[in-house]
Amino acid sequence: MSTTADPLAALADLPGVADSVASVRKAVDRVYGHRVMRRRSNEVTSEAALRGARGSAALSGADWALEEVRRRTDFSGGDGDPEAPVVGAALRLTAEAGQLLSIWRQSPLRVLARLHLVAAADKGDAVGRPRQAGEPVDEPLVELPLPDADEVAGRLDGLAQLIIAGSEAPALVTAAVVHGELQALRPFGSYNGLVARAAERIVLVGSGLDPKSICPAEVGHAELGRAQYAAALDGYASGTPEGMAAWIAHCGKAVELGVRESTAVCEALQRGAA
Per-residue pLDDT of the chain (274 residues; tens, 9 = 90+): 444 579 999 999 999 999 999 999 999 999 999 999 999 999 999 999 999 999 999 999 999 999 999 999 999 887 788 999 999 999 999 999 999 999 999 999 999 999 999 999 876 778 999 999 999 999 888 999 999 999 999 999 999 999 999 999 999 999 999 999 999 999 999 999 999 999 999 999 999 999 999 999 999 999 999 999 999 999 999 999 999 999 999 999 999 999 999 999 999 999 985 4
The single-letter code of the amino acid at 6 is: D
The pLDDT assigned to 4 comes to 54
- Domain hosting 87: range is 7-271
The CA distance from 139 to 146, in Å, is 10
Is residue 164 assigned to a domain? yes
Is residue 147 assigned to a domain? yes
Is residue 216 assigned to a domain? yes
Is residue 1 assigned to a domain? no
Is residue 2 assigned to a domain? no
Is residue 172 assigned to a domain? yes
Q: How many domains does the chain have?
A: 1
Is residue 15 assigned to a domain? yes
CA distances from 171 to 26, 98, 122, 168, 207 (A): 14, 17, 33, 9, 6
Is residue 52 assigned to a domain? yes
The CA distance from 215 to 28, in Å, is 7
Burial class (CB in 10 A: 0-12, 13-18, 19+), 178: buried
Q: Which residues contact 81 (CB under 8 A, 6 or more apart)?
A: none
Which CATH number covers residue 209? 1.10.3290.10
